[in-house]
Structure 1
Amino acid sequence: MKEHSTSNIEIVFFSYSMGVGLLLVLLLCSGELIAAFQFCSMHPMETYGYGTVFAIAGYFGVQFVLTLINMTGAFVTVTVTTFRKTVSIILSFMLFAKPFSFQYVWSGLMVLLGIYLHTYGKKMSAQKNRLPLVKKDLSKVGSL
């Protein structure tokens, strides 16, 4: 994004345009497009009304994430969105009765491992970049 200086609106427009185009082709090929319009005309509030509300909410959500990426970078954005999902899952368990599965623990550990490996990789990369500078400084000391 930064290399091509594209705005958030351009990214959303073109990525969603490709998605709409693909879905339109699939609906036309499967013959479901007419049935979908018939269903929507029988239930306009549930389809068009709620669909509009969800589309607007989704748009603002995508804008927030893209702005967060521009301001702080991808790693912080992924951490924030993962934390939000974690809070949503915890609230879901607190508010609604559902069986707890070990898969939730396993998934959480995988996310933490990914965050750790990313941080560790950055640390190792920074150390490798500093090593030639240290060798250069030591060679100067040896020549004195």
Structure 2
Amino acid sequence: MHRHHARGAPEARTSASGIVVMPEHSGTHIDALVHQAENLTLHGGVHVDSGVQTSSGFRQMGVETIAPMVGRGVLLDVAGDRRLDPGYPITPEDLQRAAKVAITEGDVVLVRTGYGALWSDPDAYLQAAG
């Protein structure tokens, strides 16, 4: 939906804006270190239990503990024009090859795997490279 300026508004100052509706897990957030666990073990060997995970959130390593990030964005297009094989492990060499500029402290690095194009094919999408 697009909102726009219009004559006849009750005030002289008007605003124009739009509305975006999308799932929260599609690029609008940062995954905290508690986002993924393996065998109920989080980053750093922290075991998931009631001392860490509560009904209202996590007691440690939550996203609210991350300082705001503002910096230059650097896109590392690892996939480029090709499709990475399912389960392909992205290596430091892949990232270095994809870097077209020097990455410096404070840069926000985004890695494109190309798997977003497979969203409508769950079997292929869930085998994402990385």
Confirm or deny a common fold (TM above 0.5): no
- The structure whose residues are more often strand, as a share, is 2
In our comparison, the structure showing a higher alpha carbon Rg is 1
TM-score, normalised relative to structure 1: 0.21
- The structure whose residues are more often helix, as a share, is 1
